[in-house]
């Protein structure tokens, strides 16, 4: 699903990601990737941000810093809401960027910055 800021709605982007594939996105063993009920993938137009702030020092880094700060603030809000709902949340930043882009079929200008693993699957 893709969040549409203008209409505050979600658009279906692609089909369900198979369980085994989700687990393979992480660097090292991260069982919460397959155990969580829901994963929110946070993405950003990193290249656009870097370009926009390219004149500000440190050149080429300022825009990326803002993107990662925004990602952290967003992640904190998701953590707070998860806690309010009584479910767990794990922020995962250790993932294979190219693999996440491929599996989620992200447009080339969108970079994944965080995976938020929320809740726990019920045993089926």
Residues that bind ligand FMN in the complex, under the rule CB under 6 A: 30, 90-94
Cβ 49 vs Cβ 34: under 8 Å: no
For residue 28, how many other CB atoms are within 10 A of its CB?
6
- Cβ distance to ligand FMN smaller for residue 87 or 90: 90
Cβ 113 vs Cβ 44: under 8 Å: yes
Using CB positions, name the residue nearest to ligand FMN. 94
- Cβ distance to ligand FMN smaller for residue 10 or 80: 80
- Cβ distance to ligand FMN smaller for residue 49 or 117: 117
Residue 61 CB, nearest approach to ligand FMN (Å) = 17
- Cβ distance to ligand FMN smaller for residue 6 or 68: 68
Task: Calculate the CA dihedral of residues 9, 10, 11, 16 and round it to 10 degrees.
Answer: -170
Residue 109 CB, nearest approach to ligand FMN (Å) = 23
d(CA 110, CA 10): 17
- Bridge partners of 4, per DSSP, are 9
Residue 93 CB, nearest approach to ligand FMN (Å) = 4
């Amino acid at each position: 699903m893709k969040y549409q800021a203008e209409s505050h709605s979600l658009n279906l982007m692609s089909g369900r990601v198979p369980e085994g594939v989700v687990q393979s996105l992480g660097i090292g063993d991260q069982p919460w990737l397959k155990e969580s009920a829901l994963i929110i993938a946070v993405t950003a137009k990193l290249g656009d941000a870097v370009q926009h702030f390219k004149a500000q020092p440190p050149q080429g880094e300022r825009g990326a810093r803002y993107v990662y700060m925004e990602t952290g603030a967003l992640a904190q809000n998701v953590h707070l809401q998860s806690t309010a709902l009584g479910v767990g949340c794990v922020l995962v930043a250790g993932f294979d960027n190219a693999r996440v882009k491929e599996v989620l079929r992200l447009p080339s200008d969108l970079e994944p910055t965080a995976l938020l693993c929320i809740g726990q699957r019920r045993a089926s």
